[in-house]
Chain A
Amino acid sequence: GQQLNQSPQSMFIQEGEDVSMNCTSSSIFNTWLWYKQEPGEGPVLLIALYKAGELTSNGRLTAQFGITRKDSFLNISASIPSDVGIYFCAGSVSGNTPLVFGKGTRLSVIA
Chain B
Amino acid sequence: DAGVIQSPRHEVTEMGQEVTLRCKPISGHNSLFWYRQTMMRGLELLIYFNNNVPIDDSGMPEDRFSAKMPNASFSTLKIQPSEPRDSAVYFCASSFSGADGYTFGSGTRLTVV
Contacts and interface: CB of A to CB of B under 8 A. Distances in A.
A42 B45 contact: no
Contact of A96 (B4, B98, B106): B98
A101 B107 CA distance: 16
Contacts of B43: 43, 88, 101, 104
A44 B93 CA distance: 11
Interface in B31-85: 33, 42-43, 45, 48, 56
A44 B99 contact: no
A interface, by DSSP: helix, strand, loop or mixed?
loop
Contacts, number: 51
A7 interface: no
Contacts of A95: 97-100
A42 B107 contact: yes
A102 B42 contact: yes
Interface residues of B, number: 20
B94 to A, nearest CB: 11
A39 to B, nearest CB: 11
A41 B107 contact: yes
A99 B45 CA distance: 9
B99 A94 contact: yes
A65 to B, nearest CB: 14
A103 B44 CA distance: 10
A59 interface: no
Nearest to A50: B100
Interface of A: 31, 33, 40-45, 48, 88, 92, 94-104
